[in-house]
A and B are shown apart, each in its own frame.
Chain A
Amino acid sequence: MTGSSAAANARRIGVYVCHCGGNISDYVDVDRVIAAVEHEPGVVVARQAMFACSDATQGDIERDIRELELDGLVVASCSPKLHVTTFRGVARRAGLNPYEYSQVNIREQASWIHTADAEGTTEKAIALVRGGIAKTGLTEPLEPIVVETTQKALVVGGGIAGMRAAIGLADLGLGVFLVERAAALGGHVRGIGAMYPNGRDGGRLIDELAASIKARPSISVFTGAEVIEKSGSFGKFSVGLRVGGPGSETLTVEVGSIVVTTGFETYEPEVGEYGYGIDGVVTLPEFKAMLDASAGPLRHAGRPVHDVAYVYCVGSRETPTKPDGNAYCSRYCCAATAFASIQLGEADPGVRQYHLHRDVRTFGKYELLYERSRDLGSIYLKFPDAEPPEVALEPDGRLLVTVRDLLTGGERVAIPADLVVLVTAMVPRSNTELTGLLKLPIGRDGFYNEIHPKLRPVETTVDGVYIAGACQGPRNSSESVASALAAVTQSAVILKKGYAELDPLVATVDAVACDGCGKCLDACPYGAIELSAGVATISETACKGCGGCVPLCPTDAIDLRGYTNDQITALIDGLVGEAVA
């Protein structure tokens, strides 16, 4: 038997099997695939191509669609992750509804993984293509979901990234709600004095941003405020805020997009970690505060500071000695430490500074800071990954840092110091409540995850919710601001038109078949399903089309557009069925 139905027989489907250079055809006998499927029900034309994605082949497919009046398209090539949009475009240009096209993956799912079995991989490819044809026989034309969008945005987190994002959004003509948990805007930057690379004062930067915000009436600032509720979806969120701590005022704002800029926390060393807890062992932020507060030579505990030792990567790149520790580089700290040492070296030319590092990552133009700090006499020592420095208290009250210097032939040296500065990492802020409310995806490092680090760097898997700044991972303030402005742009992309188009491949409920059991509600990771009047309803805009709810429905009341139950059944039948010819 075959998976075809009477409807499928009436279809006019074109099938294109790709060689992918040799990626497919070296293992899959493409001629046999064509021969096996060209007489499947509904197939009007079956061709092969060296590269189906090439401009020439795309043109050929478009011509076939027009000339042969195709109403279905199957491309058997690589993963849909690569070329779904390519071939949807082919269909659209030729006047075919893009959702009448199916992608069949015979590269990742056949040729690449069965390289030792040419016969088997060819048979598998044939089965996959048959399944695809059977599924395509049941496609229906679909149109994108059009959503009207609210011309307002919510920014969560009022540090330098959130403040800059709010200004950017306001300047695009959008209304902005800026929510900050602390009593004042400014985050970490507000407390930093001179900042690298050029010594601008962090507090003054924040003052300037705050003045800009004040000058824009379209920005409403809520400090001492938290997000406590979120409903709605992309383009039309309804967000509950609590302002002024528990028991105080709550309000709801309507926004089209949400920009999350909740920042980071500073790694807090454990007591005893590199001598932390001993007087004179301080973290980089503590040291920076001492520097910013002092003019001229530094003093600590009533004594002049002559020797400073910096221990880099405290809380960063820990895995060589702590397998479950933080594996990442905190990125901002090498330059920040070099800059702090310049600050001290210029205030006190006689001071001696030792930088104990794994590597120096003063990337880009920050390399100049590294050079300048060396010019001022800073000594850099590289220690072995597996053998970090040790900090001890000397009988005279001074500190002694022992380290193996790889550049001196592995010599172990003991450095007497008045201050030991632990260059502490950026760690993810624990924001369990917000993370849960917004369904923000968290990466292995504990920071929020973007969809694609290169091409979609501020978008999350939740449409309309963007992330920027150090909540995404360690970065310095200029990088945070750059990503904040990227999030502004992405918000503008969906909000400025007044409407947005969404993929129509979402789940739908047959209200008659639904008995209101509610099992699907628990299955939905996006909170897209609600029960109203004893029937489940799925928000088209919140649904991501994952299909997780479909198999759980005891009455088969849920169908996923583009992957309907009938289509999947047909696909399976095609996959396991015998050849027709």
Chain B
Amino acid sequence: MTATTIPGAVVPAATPATRVDGGLLADIRRFGAADVNACFSCGVCTATCPLVTNDGTFPRRMIRYAQLGLRDKLLSSRELWTCYACGQCSEQCPQQAEPGEFMAATRRWAVASYDRTSLARTLATRPLAGSVIAVLLAVILAAFMYTAHGPMGGSSLELFGFIPSDLIHNLGIAVMAIVLVTGGAGLAAMVLALRRSVVVPPARPGRAVLAAAWRAIAVEALGQQRYRGECETETRPWYRQRWFVHAATMWGFLGLLGATLLDYGLELLGIKATGTPVPIWYPVRLLGTVAGLALLYGSTLLILRRARAEERSLRHSTVGDWMFLVLLWLAGATGFVLELALYLPGAPAWGYAVFLVHVAVALELVLLVPFSKFAHAIYRPVALFFLALATSSAEPAGEGSR
């Protein structure tokens, strides 16, 4: 006799029961998902979703977990982060329960749950306090740097005479350290939750882990394979498609981060002091310029689309969505204005102000990685890694089917 496992089939009563958390749904609703009570579990959303595989079904099941108060099930679900918010499920939902918005809200809730401080929760659930914190943080960072400022003026902008490069570098290192500690703690919480649901294939486990990591980080997170292949809802040129706009923003940010780190590296190696004027073709500067253009293109389009609520997934915008986009855009835009100021004759005083804003915003952006919408950049690849691992252990032959 062969035993067949049917999904959802009755398993023996001996299985332990999970205690429901009655307040869970109300808590998640603080992060959005106002309409999710309307869901009666028909499953049209799951049937609609282009990303659903046998190893990961959502959004219906995620909504059910939330409705029943199965907190740990949600926190240990990789499916939460598999979704790229195309909004097709919300389009098709017969109950207007907005499953796509639910997924987004639950990701915000998950970020806040992984975060031990309550900063992520405040940023996501309290619009006014969140905005005040964001502005205040930038002001504090700027004010802190300004206390150490040198002279303004001269025939050209002397930015690092104005704010010492050492101060910026050390501040950057401090910010990174904070991000590493808080983000690392969040990641650890997530990994602990997720690994409960994953079996590493017994044959060649090391290879499986490496393959899953490659698939999650290179193919999916950086390569955006499924985002590109499955989640476009409209016919439009590639440079206007959702995945490309997102990729431009992401690659732009990573490029700028890389250029900044390289610049610092060159100084450490004594090749080039930070702030030394270099021609446009100088590799690090070229990288920064191209990446900045990409970031500006991507973030501008993202902001415009969100402002016009052009797509189904953009109907519900939170302060957190705006905060993240505005910070990204500001970091990119002030960078270019600065570039302009550097090559203008004379040294306009506003150049120094823009510089201060640029550095403060960039530092804040990085500092808020574990707490803001930026957190998806660290949590999503991990979830994708576990998904890839589960897929490979379930189907060694290759990719999962729908």
- A407 adjacent to B17 (CB under 8 Å): no
Interface centre among A306, A384, A412 (most CB of B within 10 A): A412
- The verdict on A413 contacting B17 (CB below 8 Å), with A374-B37, A386-B10, A387-B10 known, is yes
Task: Find residues 54-87 in chain B having any chain A CB closer than 8 Å to their own CB.
Answer: 61, 64-65, 67-68, 70, 73
CA distance A402 to B13 in the complex (A): 10
Among A387, A402, A408, A416, residue most surrounded by chain B Cβ atoms (within 10 Å)? A408
B20 lies within 8 A of A375 (CB): no
Give A114-131 as 1s and 0s: 1 = Cβ < 8 Å from B's Cβ atoms: 000000000000000000
User: CB within 8 Å of B: which of A247-266?
Assistant: none
Which size bracket describes the interface of A in this complex? 20 to 34
Pairwise interchain contact A414-B10, C-beta atoms closer than 8 A: no
Chain B residues with CB under 8 Å of A409's CB are 7-8, 61
Question: Could you list which residues of chain A lie within 8 angstroms of chain B, going by C-beta atoms?
Answer: 306-307, 352, 354, 374-375, 377, 379-381, 384, 386-387, 402, 404-416
How far, in whole Å, are A502 and B67 apart by their CA atoms in the complex? Answer: 63
A-B contact pairs, 21 of them (CB 8 A): A306-B22, A352-B22, A379-B68, A380-B40, A384-B10, A404-B10, A405-B64, A407-B41, A408-B64, A408-B70, A410-B9, A410-B10, A411-B70, A412-B15, A412-B17, A413-B18, A413-B20, A414-B17, A414-B19, A414-B20, A416-B20
Contact yes or no, B64 A407, CB < 8 A: yes
Asked whether, in the complex, the Cβ of B17 is within 8 Å of the Cβ of A402, the reply is yes
8 A Cβ contacts from B1-57 to A: 7-11, 13, 15-20, 22, 25, 37-38, 40-41
Residues of B within 8 A of A412 (CB): 13, 15-18
Distance, CA A436 to CA B126, complexed state (A) = 72
Cα A335 to Cα B18 with chains together (Å): 29
| Chain A residues within 8 Å of B41, by CB | 407
Return chain A residues, CB-CB under 8 Å to B67.
Answer: 379
Q: Provide the bound-state CA to CA distance between A45 and B238, in Å.
A: 88
State the CA gap A306–B20 with chains docked (Å).
14
- Other A-B contacts than A409-B61, A416-B19, 8 sampled, CB-CB below 8 A, are A306-B22, A352-B22, A374-B37, A387-B13, A407-B41, A412-B13, A412-B16, A414-B17
Give A363 Cβ to nearest chain B Cβ, in Å. Answer: 16
CA A410 – CA B67 in complex, angstroms? 15
Q: Known A375-B37, A384-B10, A387-B10; judge A408-B68 contact (CB<8 A).
A: yes
Residues of chain A lying within 8 A (CB to CB) of residue B7: 409
Contact B13 A381 (CB under 8 A): no
Complex interface: chain A residues within 8 A of B16 (CB): 412
Asked whether, in the complex, the Cβ of A413 is within 8 Å of the Cβ of B10, the reply is: no
Q: Closest CB of chain B to A361's CB: distance in Å?
A: 14
Inter-subunit contact A406/B8 (CB<8 Å): yes
Partner of B18, one of A306, A307, A354, A414: A414
Q: Provide the bound-state CA to CA distance between A416 and B41, in Å.
A: 23
Give chain B interface residues in 84-119, CB to chain A under 8 Å: none
Q: Which 5 A-B pairs have the closest CB atoms?
A: A414-B17, A412-B17, A352-B22, A407-B41, A414-B19
CA distance A386 to B15 in the complex (A): 16
Q: Chain A contacts of B15 at CB under 8 A?
A: 412
Closest to A404 in B: B10
Question: How far, in whole Å, are A352 and B25 apart by their CA atoms in the complex?
Answer: 10
Instruction: Give the CA-CA distance A387 to B10 in the complex, in Å.
Output: 9
Q: Given the complex of chains A and B, what is the CA–CA distance between A406 and B8 in angstroms?
A: 6
A340 CB to nearest chain B CB (Å): 18
A-side contacts of B65, CB under 8 Å: 408
Instruction: Give Cα A384–Cα B15 distance, bound, in whole angstroms.
Output: 15
Minimum CB–CB distance from A342 to chain B (whole Å) comes to 13
CA distance A405 to B11 in the complex (A): 11
List residues of chain B with CB within 8 A of the CB of A354.
20
Interface pair B22/A374, CB less than 8 Å apart: no
Residues of A within 8 A of B10 (CB): 384, 386-387, 404, 410
Q: A380-B40, A413-B20, A416-B19 in contact; A408/B13 too (CB < 8 A)?
A: no
**A344, B8: Cα distance in complex, Å:** 32
In the complex, residue of chain B having the shortest beta-carbon distance to the beta carbon of A351: B22
**A409 to B7 CA separation, bound complex (whole angstroms):** 6
Which of B11, B20, B38 is A415 in contact with, Cβ under 8 Å? B20
Q: Are A377 and B37 in contact (CB under 8 A)?
A: yes
User: In the complex the two chains form, what is the Cα distance from A406 to B64 in whole Å?
Assistant: 10
**Residue of B at shortest CB range from A374?**
B37
- The residues of B that contact A408 with a CB separation of less than 8 Å are 61, 64-65, 68, 70, 73
Question: A411 contacts B38, CB within 8 Å?
Answer: no
B73 — which chain A residues lie within 8 A by C-beta? 408, 411
* B43: nearest chain-A partner, CB-CB: A407
Closest chain B residue, CB of each to CB of A375: B37
C-alpha spacing A307/B24, complex, angstroms? 13
Q: Give the chain B neighbours of A414 by CB distance below 8 A.
A: 17-20
A405 proximity list for chain B (CB < 8 A): 64, 68
Complex Cα gap A384–B11 (Å): 11
Q: Write out the residue numbers on chain B whose beta carbons fall within 8 Å of the beta carbon of A384.
A: 10
On chain A, the residues within 8 Å of B70 by CB distance are 408, 411, 413
CA distance A411 to B15 in the complex (A): 9
Give the nearest-CB partner of B6 in chain A: A410
Q: Please, which residues of chain A bring their CB within 8 A of the CB of B38?
A: 374-375
Measured between beta carbons, the chain A residues less than 8 angstroms from B18 are: 411-414
A392 → chain B, closest Cβ, in Å?
A: 11
How far does the alpha carbon of A307 sit from the alpha carbon of B68 in the complex, in Å? Answer: 12
CA gap between A384 and B9 in the complex, in Å: 9
- Give A377's nearest chain B residue, CB to CB: B37
A521: shortest Cβ distance to chain B, in Å? 57
CA distance A410 to B68 in the complex (A): 13
A349 to B16 CA separation, bound complex (whole angstroms): 31
Nearest opposing residue in chain B for A400, CB measure: B19
- A406 CA to B20 CA in the complex, in Å? 15
Q: Smallest CB-CB separation from B13: which chain A residue? A: A387
Question: Smallest Cβ distance from A394 to chain B, in angstroms?
Answer: 11
**What distance in Å separates the Cβ of A401 from its nearest Cβ neighbour in chain B?**
10
Q: Would you give the shortest CB distance from B80 to chain A, in whole angstroms? A: 15
How far is A352 from B68 in the complex, measured between Cα atoms in Å? Answer: 11
Which B residues lie within 8 Å of A352 (CB)? 22
Question: In the bound complex, how far is the Cα of B22 from the Cα of A307, in angstroms?
Answer: 8
The smallest C-beta distance from B45 to any residue of chain A, in angstroms, reads: 13
Tell me the minimal C-beta distance from A54 to chain B in angstroms: 47
Residue among B7, B40, B67 with most chain A CB within 10 A: B67
Interface string of B369-390 (1 = CB under 8 A from A): 0000000000000000000000
Q: Of all chain A residues, which has the CB nearest B64?
A: A408
Distance in angstroms from A311 CB to nearest chain B CB is 15
Please, which residues of chain A bring their CB within 8 A of the CB of B9? 410
Q: Which residues of the partner chain B approach A413 to less than 8 Å between Cβ atoms?
A: 17-20, 68, 70
Closest chain A CB from B173 CB (angstroms): 46
Name B11's closest neighbour in chain A (CB-CB): A410
Which single residue of chain B is at the shortest CB-CB distance from A382? Answer: B41
Looking at the assembled complex, report how far the CB atom of A378 sits from the nearest CB atom of chain B, in whole angstroms: 9
- How far apart are A306's CB and chain B's nearest CB, in angstroms? 7
Of chain B, the residue at the smallest CB distance from A406 is B8
CA distance A379 to B22 in the complex (A): 10
B contact residues around A404 at 8 Å (CB): 10, 13
Residues of A within 8 A of B13 (CB): 387, 404, 412
Closest to A380 in B: B40
**Chain B residues within 8 Å of A380, by CB:** 40
Task: Please measure, in the bound complex, the distance between the C-alpha atom of A374 and the C-alpha atom of B13, giving whole angstroms.
Answer: 28
CA distance A416 to B19 in the complex (A): 8
- Report B192 CB to chain A, min CB distance, Å: 20
Q: Which chain B residues lie closer than 8 Å to A406 at the CB level?
A: 8
Residues A410 and B40 in contact, CB atoms below 8 Å apart: no
Residue of A nearest to B39 (CB): A374
A412 to B20, CA, bound (A): 10
Q: Which residues of A contact B19 (CB under 8 A)?
A: 413-414, 416
A377 to B35, CA, bound (A): 11
CB distance from A56 to the nearest CB of B (A): 51
Q: Bound state CA distance, A379 and B41, in angstroms?
A: 11
Cβ-defined contact, B22 with A416, below 8 A:
yes
CB-defined contacts of B37 to chain A, threshold 8 Å: 374-375, 377
Contact with A along B267-295 (1 / 0, CB 8 A): 00000000000000000000000000000
